[in-house]
Amino acid sequence: MTAPDLQPAGQPAAGQAGGGSTRASRPRRRGLHPAWMVAGVAFIALLGAAGFRAAPSVLIVPMQDEYGWSRGLLSVAVGVSLLLYGLTAPFAAALMDRFGVRAVTSTALVLVALGSGLTVFVTAGWQLVLCWGVIVGLGTGSMALVFAATVANRWFVKRRGLVMGVLTAGSATGQLIFLPLLAWLAESSGWRAAALLVSAAALAVVPLVLCFLRNSPAELGVLPYGAPESDAGREAGPAVPAEAHRGSAPPDRADQDPEATPSAGHSARGDDGDVAVVAPGAARRAIEALIQAARTRTFWALVGGFAICGATTNGLIGTHFVPAAHDHGMPTTTAAGLLAVVGIFDIVGTVASGALTDRVNPRILLAVYYALRGVGLLMLPALLSDTVHPSILAFVIVYGLDWVATVPPTAALCRQAFGESGTIVFGWVFAAHQIGAALASVGAGVIRDETSDYTVAWFGAAGLCAVAALMSLGIRKVPRIGAPVA
């Protein structure tokens, strides 16, 4: 079956609008839209890269025991990784527009495998920062949540929020799979075996990405899933830089913030009469998007809230929950199992949040999510003990449902407010998420070294969640693009 044959009945192939494409004469048949195949491959890629995101929490204690390094030093390595994870994201979004999703994603997976594999040879703290922090940080950042946003925005018009939620849950699924296994390996065979498993998992996904991940619907001669027939003319253009327009409003839409929409490039008319968008350099485009977005209050509200989101998930709980539980006498494997339960309910919560984002005001969703998270953090110091009891299970379930449920509404607000540059702007917002995570990771490690426990860190994070909830409610109302999808 050729690629255009996969186009659902009732939707024209991309070439029909141009009038001269041979694709227009090919028969259309019912079948699975290729967008779902791409989303499936993207999910597996995110799952494969998630191994390292789960690794530090179970490797901190055994590496501390072997080398005598402080919790603060190990947290610095994690913090650098989280920081680069975020700062790389907006440039990765622009690189995906310029060089293609497939090339950037496969390179990122190789970097994750390299950094994790080299960790087994470290003998000094700076080497750990290089491997864990720099190499893995650049790799994971190159296919962070902007990868999910890019796939969802390019390939889907209908079900976009749901797909964003499912792809975001890919990392949580990886956490669910890897955490107990890595904890068991670290305890039974040593932390080096766990690091090598992460490396192997990332490498295993590369062939799948190279063979089946496609850069855009135009590459297969189809429209994005759910795109109206009126979009056929625009979809007939080039696959890569014009992809920024797919699934979002044209730049002159009345419901788009005029001050928030940077120019993605300039227009040029080809010999066949089609108008193509010529993209500037990836770095330039990312910086231009930041400059334009930074002129709006909406951007800074999203940045502040998402920085707190990162601080209270990846930075604090994701990095320090297992060591904190270990401090209370809980076995590492048991604590890792609880964090895996967070991963289970994260999948449910994120997918549900994606569906809700298609129907409910994203600002309200964000405020509710941050408020619930703050309540959980206030309760955590009284819940940690050497055994598992119903109250700690209730905490991990609620926290799991809330873990990255913030992503779909945040991505939706970026898309609504910043139009064709929404994915790149989301990359910058995500950078703030990881800056918050990095600061929280290092800060909590220092607090633990100075006070011998994490209580101050838990309470401080709860206060920040209250601030994030208020900031979310204060975001300027952005008109929704498109009607809710049934």
Arithmetic mean of pLDDT, 29-41:
80
Q: Please, are residues 174 and 53 in contact by the beta-carbon 8 Å criterion?
A: yes
Q: Please, are residues 315 and 80 in contact by the beta-carbon 8 Å criterion?
A: no
Instruction: Return the pLDDT at 230.
Output: 62
Instruction: Return the pLDDT at 263.
Output: 40
Query: Alpha-carbon distance 419 to 427, whole Å?
Result: 14
Arithmetic mean of pLDDT, 157-163:
83
Sign for the CA dihedral angle at 476, 262, 106, 162 comes to positive
Mean pLDDT check: name the lowest of 29-43, 373-387, 399-413.
Answer: 29-43
Instruction: Return the pLDDT at 421.
Output: 83
Determine the length of the chain: 486
Query: Alpha-carbon distance 450 to 472, whole Å?
Result: 33
Q: What percent of the chain has pLDDT over 70?
A: 79
Instruction: Return the pLDDT at 237.
Output: 36
Reading the block at residue 223, the tokens are 């429209």
Instruction: Return the pLDDT at 477.
Output: 60
Arithmetic mean of pLDDT, 211-223:
84
CATH tag for 34-215+285-473 (out of 1.20.1600.10, 3.40.109.10, 1.20.1250.20, 1.10.8.60): 1.20.1250.20
SS3 (DSSP) at 156: strand
CA-based Rg of the chain, rounded to a whole angstrom?
22
pTM, entire model: 0.66
Q: pLDDT digits over 298-316, tens only? A: 999 999 999 999 999 988 9
Check whether 19 has a pLDDT greater than 50: no
266 pLDDT band (50/70/90 cuts)?
A: very low
For 50, 94, 104, 141, the CA distances from 107, given in Å and listed in that order, are 15, 15, 5, 11
Check whether 486 has a pLDDT greater than 60: no
Alpha helices for 330-389 (secondary structure H):
332-357, 362-383
Instruction: Please report, for the chain, the start and end positions of each structural domain, with discontinuous segments joined by +.
Output: 34-215+285-473
Instruction: Return the pLDDT at 456.
Output: 94
For 59, 198, 201, the CA distances from 181, given in Å and listed in that order, are 12, 10, 12
Check whether 26 has a pLDDT greater than 50: no
What's the distance, CA 103 to chain centroid? Answer: 18
Check whether 239 has a pLDDT greater than 60: no
Instruction: Return the pLDDT at 332.
Output: 85
Q: Please, are residues 343 and 173 in contact by the beta-carbon 8 Å criterion?
A: yes
Q: Please, are residues 178 and 201 in contact by the beta-carbon 8 Å criterion?
A: yes
Helices first, then strands: H and E counts in the chain: 18, 2
Instruction: Return the pLDDT at 14.
Output: 42
Instruction: Return the pLDDT at 10.
Output: 40
For 284, 345, 448, the CA distances from 455, given in Å and listed in that order, are 43, 25, 9
Q: How many CA atoms lie within 13 A of 384 on its CB side?
A: 24
SS3 (DSSP) at 204: helix
Q: pLDDT digits over 448-482, tens only? A: 988 988 999 999 999 999 999 999 998 876 544 33
Q: pLDDT digits over 95-140, tens only? A: 887 888 888 989 999 999 999 899 999 988 899 999 988 998 888 8
Phi and psi at residue 277, to the nearest 5°? -95, 120
Instruction: Return the pLDDT at 232.
Output: 56
Instruction: Return the pLDDT at 252.
Output: 38
**Which class for 381: exposed (0-12), middle (13-18), buried (19 or more C-beta within 10 A)?**
middle
